[in-house]
Amino acid sequence: MMAYMAWLEENNGLELNDYHALWEWSVSHVPESWESVWEFFGIQASRPYTEILRRRMPGAQWFMGSQLNYAEQVFCKHCE
């Protein structure tokens, strides 16, 4: 979590000093926080997303338009 918080500061200029600050930001900026998770983990998509979040829970749809290969995501870091 600390690596993610440091990454957010370096890449997004967000200075989140503890878990509570991260949580506050994530629930007040839901699409942006999930997009940052996508970027932080380096998700590779064969088709990029066109929309991060469509509707809130229940029935939320995430990363609309994207197409992922599950096995590629699982093993991509192992193959580097």
pLDDT in tens, 42-73: 888 889 999 998 887 788 888 999 998 888 87
The two most distant CA atoms of the chain are separated, in Å, by: 37
The DSSP secondary-structure symbol of 80 reads -
User: How do residues 27-42 score in pLDDT, each as one tens digit?
Assistant: 999 999 999 999 998 8
pLDDT computed for residue 80 by the predictor: 52
29-41: buried (b, 16+ CB within 10 Å) or exposed (e) per residue?
Answer: eeeebebbeeeee
DSSP state string for 4-69: HHHHHHHHH-----SHHHHHHHHHHSHHHHHHHHHHHTT---SB--SEEEESPSSS-EEEET-B--
